[in-house]
Chain A
Amino acid sequence: MLVKMHPPSIMVKIGKQFARCGALAGLIFLFSADLFGGIFFDRLLESVVRIDVRETTFAGGSTRLVSGVGSGVILSRDGLVMTNAHVVSPQAVDIWVTLANLERVQAELLGWDHWTDLALLRLDMDEVSRRKLEFSVAKFGNSDKLKPGQTVYAVGTPHGLSRTVTKGIISNKDRYYHDSSGIRGYETGFFNTWLQTDAAINPGNSGGPLVNESGRVVGINTRTYLGADNLGFAIPEKTARSVMSHLEAHGEVERSYIGLAPGFLQDLETFYSLEANQGMLINSVDPGSPAALAGVKASDIVLSLNGKKLDGRFPEQIPPIRNLIASYPVGSSLTLEVKRGGELMLIVVETERLESRVGDEWAFEKWGLTVREVSRSFARELQLTSDDGVVVIGTQSAFPADKAGLRRGDVISKINQTNLIGLDDLKEIYESYSSNPDPLLMETLRNRTVSFKVLKP
């Protein structure tokens, strides 16, 4: 059954242009090494897989299948495969993994985390043992120990070319980049920094490993600047390893949320008369969030969190702070030491569960209508007064929803003059409409303008 749904997208995130990436500051050392070719490296090559996925999309007013190709790396004897969240999502209908020995086996999705763009699969191990399939297992290295200039290799399936190896160096190991709707509308990149490499990374490399000279996995290749030369980005091993253990155990990574959007303090220390190297500037506080309710204000400086000093002067220092907040169990009380003008204060904030802006999706096939639940975060983004209702993500030409005048982006707020709380309400209405198709009066909101539409057979 399809439970969670998303907007459509091309499978291969690699190839998607970065919206916000800082200036390039890669130090390039000439670094010679002759370790290539060792037995570990051969083993690594045997652990890289090609992943073919078909998944459901709800974009066009009906459910459709789209297919894509990506890469992955086998990380355990019992068949765990790490790849990108934008390669395999919960809408995947079937996932085929091609092993290095050109055997194909199905896999299932164990867990998914769009925030770090990682997904964890398990090979169908019954099938593997029945067919006596063999594969190698890659080992993680240590991304903290990487140095700019160090040689690395990217392995994957660029443009469908299986097990392509490209070579480069670590260009920068602390790149900051986030995108609030980068993975089919889902947020990504807030909780980790990125490894930057000049090893050629192309569409299809997504989910493949970035390895050091001894064949250890130091990152998962994820993104590249299209149109630029050799600006590739990988999720560091440190992030991947921790997300992997959460996904294996729980199928997700639960994170805490308090609603702060940090800014960079960069050069403002004197302005705020701060001790050097301390403090995180608050750029924005989400309305209605725990931090807002506790009285945190934009332009406050958070000096410490539960006694731990914060240093958020530069962009690359922000993800670790966000990750620190996120790593507390949901419902934790965080004590923020806040500087506001000349005043110092302690503010206690109770964390909530972090949720995506993307709500559940569904297709109402007879109406030619696909919708998404309005999440709290989406409601805030659109400055809606409540998170009730569903938002139209697609209509099919000449179907009832299209004829009624519903358009992508309309928020359906009422049906037959009764408030529509969410997707479940609409499913119920759809059921009764199917048995008794009386015209429905829909009230929609678009940029706060209220319109009325009649949906009829």
Chain B
Amino acid sequence: MLLGCLSAYPLQLQGAPAIDTLFEERSQSVVVVEFFVKTEIDRSPMSVNGIVIDGNGTIQLPASSVPSWIPVDRLREFKVYRLGDSESVDAEYLGSDRLHSWHYVRADSSIWPKLKPVTDYALAELKTGQPLWGIGVATKDLDFTPYFMRAEVSTIQKLPETVGFATSEITSPGSLLFTDDGAFAGWGSSSLNMERYLTIEGNRYQAYLRKPDQSTTFYVASELVKTLGNIPSSPEINDLTWLGVVGLQTIDDEVAELMGLGDRAAISISQIIKGSPAEKAGLQERDMVLSVDGVPLKRYTPRRVVVSDFEQQIAKKEIGERMTLEIARGDSRVEIDVTIEQSPKLVREADRRYFEGMGFTIREFVVYDNVSLKLDLEIDEVPGVIVSFVKPSSDAQTGGAQVGDLIKEIDGQAISSYDQAASILESLESDSSKKEFVALVARGAETAVLRIALN
């Protein structure tokens, strides 16, 4: 196979080191990061591949490596392993990038000399059919040993990130791939679902299978390097921007034509959050966005990418920056100037507290709960606190508490802030004369009165 490639690309390979040499060196740009997520009663271990992006031990991890709703203080004991090395070093979590939600950690300086940043490599210009090789990462019991993989460029798409697809598995998610002359070609993303039919005892089932350790898709390096290393100043910071629109849908071509929008790309807005920049600027539900800052929305294929692209445009704005939207509203066109604001508190930033005796955690109500609970409240209205955890077989569970419940009243007192709820529960927990308390919770369109024992 290698010989075949040599004859096909003799010019590029002239003077380039042999693949095995390249492979060994490039493997120093990939690491495995281990950490755990602490919950009220458990620890769930995580292990992800990441890439070295500078000479100071900064590692970039895929967006999916840390679920976005997990509070930063629950991410514990980061460790970095070099491929093929059973020894790890400690690392520090630096936070996530607001555009792509990539995560960053910094490895202890003792291994910096042994790491090689991806910025050291030339960038590949990819063509359809071009041969590529990638670094697969073995499991922990094999010391995360790197292994060689090979495939060709199948297609490259803008989604809106530039994403490459290989003819077969070419790398592990979060690992790297290169051209034969060693140019940086891409960063492995998670694998695609493969549709398969399973026949079990004569019954046919449709199944979607996904390989956790190997992938055919990757972020194309030449575009990726423009966005590397967008590290926040602190892991806890909320520098997300928001517009306050919910339920964005791409208008399909036929609908656009029927609505008199011709062949323009458009996005419809299902909901406007009260008190959001969108509401203040006068955006309305069912408005259709046609262009942003004078530039018409691009007609991506598949069309749903138009929405991702619009969301990225909002994310790229600075807090306080203006955004001009061309809107189709019924038969008229209007232009709306929105001032982008800082996102309200995220779920992961919400205060929370575990009441161990009762066996449940309450979490501060955030604006985004307004949407998921379909409450339509004003932005500063606090209808209660959210139950974010219920310990199995605890008094809270026996009393009927469920994750997602909105506690509206405790012992007849209306809850209007997190601090109030926390202090009521705290005094209940320390009051040995109380045998139980009653909570009114909202759950979907209904409410329920729960009785929770105090021990």
Contact = CB atoms under 8 A, between A and B. Distances in A.
Interface in B402-433: 409, 412
B440 A271 contact: no
Interface string B253-274: 0110011000000001111000
Interface in B235-259: 246-247, 249, 251-252, 254-255, 258-259
Interface string A426-457: 00000000000001010100001111111010
Contacts of A456: 254
A433 to B, nearest CB: 14
Contacts of B451: 267-268, 271
A392 interface: no
A448 B270 contact: yes
B438 interface: yes
B447 interface: yes
Interface in B110-143: none
B247 A449 contact: yes
A295 interface: no
A76 interface: no
Given A299-B438, A448-B271, A285 B247 contact: no
Contacts of B249: 449-452
Interface residues of A toward B: which range? 20 to 34
Interface in B429-451: 436, 438, 440, 444-449, 451
A268 B435 CA distance: 11
B286 interface: yes
A283 B447 contact: yes
Contact of B374 (A263, A299, A443, A448): A448
Contacts of B444: 381, 383
Contact of A299 (B258, B268, B330, B409): B409
A125 interface: no
Nearest to A267: B451
Contacts of A298: 440, 447-449
Contact of B438 (A261, A268, A441): A268
Q: Is the interface of B mostly helix, strand, loop or mixed?
A: mixed
Given A271-B451, A450-B247, A454-B258, A261 B446 contact: yes
A302 to B, nearest CB: 13
A380 interface: yes
A382 B286 CA distance: 20
B449 A453 contact: no
B285 interface: yes
B374 A383 contact: yes
B412 A299 contact: yes
Contact of B449 (A283, A381, A443, A449): A283
A331 interface: no
A441 B286 contact: no
Given A299-B412, A448-B247, A448-B374, A441 B255 contact: yes
A287 interface: yes
A453 B446 CA distance: 32
A399 B444 CA distance: 34
Contacts of A271: 436, 438, 451
Contacts of B255: 441, 452-454
A417 B446 contact: no
Contacts of A453: 255
A80 B101 CA distance: 69
Contacts of A450: 247, 249, 268-270, 285-286
Given A439-B254, A450-B249, A381 B286 contact: no
B313 to A, nearest CB: 20
A345 to B, nearest CB: 15
A449 B259 contact: no
A120 to B, nearest CB: 33
B449 A380 contact: no
A380 B268 CA distance: 25
11 contacts: A267-B451, A271-B436, A299-B447, A380-B445, A381-B444, A439-B258, A441-B259, A449-B249, A449-B270, A450-B247, A450-B270
Interface of B: 246-247, 249, 251-252, 254-255, 258-259, 268-271, 285-286, 330, 374, 409, 412, 436, 438, 440, 444-449, 451
Given A298-B449, A449-B271, A450-B247, 14 more contacts: A271-B438, A283-B448, A284-B447, A299-B412, A299-B440, A299-B449, A383-B374, A383-B444, A417-B330, A448-B246, A448-B271, A451-B268, A452-B251, A456-B254
Interface of A: 261, 263, 267-268, 271, 281-287, 298-299, 341, 380-383, 417, 439, 441, 443, 448-454, 456
